[in-house]
């Protein structure tokens, strides 16, 4: 059976599930993530788009750039997912919203050219100055 993981927003109106393992997880340091999530770093897991399902509620969408749409809860404001036309077969999901976030270990940093100078986090992981799309 395929590994399955679920998560949701703070208020509980949005719930999702994806049938994919907890890998391909990156700490993103870009300024767009900072301004859209309000966090100093946003950690994303990339999953096959076809493996992802909203199981409760309907997410609001925000186009944060010409290629990128971010999905969030219109009630509590939580950011849950990101789609980019640069990788049309995948969806990025915020690991912080996973029910089993403790098991979701990052494997790299991305967009470190925008990293805050005072931020110390997972210093042993490899870094990509921007983002290498596989
Ligand atoms: Zn919510
Ligand atoms: Zn980012």
Averaged pLDDT, 40-48: 98
* The predicted structure's pLDDT at residue 134: 58
- Residue 37 pLDDT exceeds 70: yes
User: Under 8 Å CB-to-CB from 32, ≥6 apart: which residues?
Assistant: 64, 65, 68
CA of 7, nearest ligand number: 1
CA of 34, nearest ligand number: 2
Averaged pLDDT, 99-127: 97
- Tell me the C-alpha distance between 118 and 123, whole Å: 12
Domain-wise residue ranges, the chain? 5-116
Count of residues making up the chain: 134
Q: Render pLDDT for 51-71 as a digit per residue (tens, 0 to 9).
A: 999 999 999 999 999 999 999
Averaged pLDDT, 94-106: 98
CA of 77, nearest ligand number: 1
Banded model confidence at residue 2, pLDDT cuts 50, 70, 90: confident
3-state secondary structure of 61: strand
CATH of domain 5-116: 2.170.150.70
Q: How far is the CA of 132 from the centre of ligand 1 (A)?
A: 31
* Ion ligand 1 residues within 5 Å by Cβ: 9, 11, 13, 73, 75-76
User: Under 8 Å CB-to-CB from 93, ≥6 apart: which residues?
Assistant: 7, 16, 18, 44, 45, 47, 52, 80, 81, 82
Banded model confidence at residue 1, pLDDT cuts 50, 70, 90: low
* The predicted structure's pLDDT at residue 132: 81
> Residue 121: which of 104, 102, 108, 134 has the closest Cα?
108
Q: Render pLDDT for 66-86 as a digit per residue (tens, 0 to 9).
A: 999 999 999 999 999 999 999
């Amino acid at each position: 059976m395929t590994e399955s993981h679920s998560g949701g927003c703070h208020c509980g109106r949005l719930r999702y599930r994806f049938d994919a393992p907890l890998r391909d997880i990156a700490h993103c340091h870009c300024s767009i993530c900072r301004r859209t999530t309000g966090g100093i770093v946003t950690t994303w897991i990339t999953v096959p788009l076809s493996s992802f399902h909203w199981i409760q509620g309907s997410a609001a969408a925000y186009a944060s750039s010409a290629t990128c749409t971010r999905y969030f809860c219109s009630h509590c404001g939580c950011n849950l997912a990101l789609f980019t036309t640069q990788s049309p077969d995948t969806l990025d999901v915020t690991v912080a919203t996973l029910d089993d976030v403790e098991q979701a270990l990052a494997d790299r940093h991305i967009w470190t050219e925008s990293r805050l100078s005072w931020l110390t986090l997972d210093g042993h992981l490899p870094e990509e100055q921007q983002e290498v799309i596989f």
